[in-house]
Amino acid sequence: MSVIRLGAVEYLNARPLVVGLDHNPAFDLRFDIPAQCAALLHSGAIDVGLIPSIEYLRGDPYCIVPDLAVASRGAVASVALYTRRATADIRSIALDTSSRTSVALVKVLCARVFGIEPTFESHGPDLGAMLDRADGALLIGDRALLQPPVSDPLAPLAKIDLGETWTRATGLPFVYAFWAGRPGALASHHVGALQRARDEGLASLEAVAAAYFSDPAERALGARYLRDNIWYRMGEDERAGLELFYRYAHELDLVPRGDLRFYS
């Protein structure tokens, strides 16, 4: 049988989903930023990708690996809007070019929760440069997780956790990413292998963080983050949150309509 080309997100929060897959002969594993994972899947350069959830509706008809996700049930810590203004006064937002789902999420929250209509500009993930150009800055992944607090009593910097904002507004989890590929790309034993990798990752979160970070303080932070902020299952609540996100995104003309389809 041919080897399955897997494209995984390079950030810490994806590492518990890939434990042992680099040694599994059924898979050829590579790491990229979320936006690149989506681009590779859309172009056919990989067979299955850990793609931003919004990209599921932007490519060919895909299937989702069941019961696997990168999600949050409240504060996520690694997807945040930074600003020195009250949210009602935000007129422009710089968007992390690494992101796709979080870009759609911040647009949904601006429309439905914050009640603002800012302009949006893509920008590399550099918080200082982003805030020089815009009133707010969207950062995701490790940069948002490790971003040190900025202490300036004249212009304090607020970090608005978008996972927390979504769950407070909807009562539902938010799904940032999941494994997806074209129908027929995975057999049932491949699905089982991906689920077992997740189970092994959840059983060794401290080791996952230790392998990712060399600094002891970052290792401790990473382990707490994986344990307390990230949820790795796609249950009924996650599906409901995902479908609501898709409905809101469609209403903003960010994606077409679509149904959730899963590998068996």
pLDDT given at position 103: 96
d(CA 93, CA 184): 40
- pLDDT of residue 168 exceeding 70, the answer is yes
Q: Is the dihedral of CA 8, 10, 12, 18 positive or negative?
A: positive
User: What is the mean pLDDT of the segment spanning 223-236?
Assistant: 97
d(CA 18, CA 149): 31
Looking at the structure, give the CATH architecture of the domain made up of residues 4-72+173-251: 3-Layer(aba) Sandwich (3.40)
- pLDDT of residue 1 exceeding 70, the answer is no
Q: Where are the domains of the chain?
A: 4-72+173-251, 79-170
pLDDT given at position 99: 83
* SS3 state at 102: helix
Question: Where residue 155 falls among pLDDT bands split at 50, 70, 90?
Answer: low
d(CA 27, CA 7): 10
Distances (CA, A) of 192 to 73, 131, 239: 25, 44, 20
Q: Is the dihedral of CA 191, 21, 98, 111 positive or negative?
A: positive
Chain segment 178-217, per-residue pLDDT in tens: 999 999 999 999 999 999 999 999 999 999 999 999 999 9
* SS3 state at 64: strand
Question: Where residue 98 falls among pLDDT bands split at 50, 70, 90?
Answer: confident
Instruction: Identify which of 105, 143, 99 has the alpha carbon closest to the alpha carbon of residue 122.
Output: 99
Question: Where residue 150 falls among pLDDT bands split at 50, 70, 90?
Answer: low
Rounded to the nearest integer, the mean pLDDT of the chain is: 95
CATH code of domain 79-170:
3.40.190.10
Chain segment 36-74, per-residue pLDDT in tens: 999 999 999 999 999 999 999 998 899 999 999 999 999
d(CA 187, CA 210): 32
pLDDT given at position 182: 95
Q: Is the dihedral of CA 75, 215, 82, 175 positive or negative?
A: negative
User: What is the mean pLDDT of the segment spanning 15-25?
Assistant: 97
pTM of the entire predicted model: 0.94
Least confident of 74-83, 142-151, 178-187: 142-151
pLDDT given at position 121: 96
User: What is the mean pLDDT of the segment spanning 228-242?
Assistant: 98
Burial (0-12, 13-18, 19+ Cβ within 10 Å), 125: buried
User: What is the mean pLDDT of the segment spanning 87-99?
Assistant: 94
The yes-or-no answer to whether 4-72+173-251 and 79-170 have a common fold is yes
Tell me what percent of the residues of the chain surpass a pLDDT of 90.
92
pLDDT given at position 147: 87
pLDDT given at position 148: 80
Q: Give residue for tokens 């439905």.
A: 112
pLDDT given at position 156: 81
User: What is the mean pLDDT of the segment spanning 96-124?
Assistant: 95
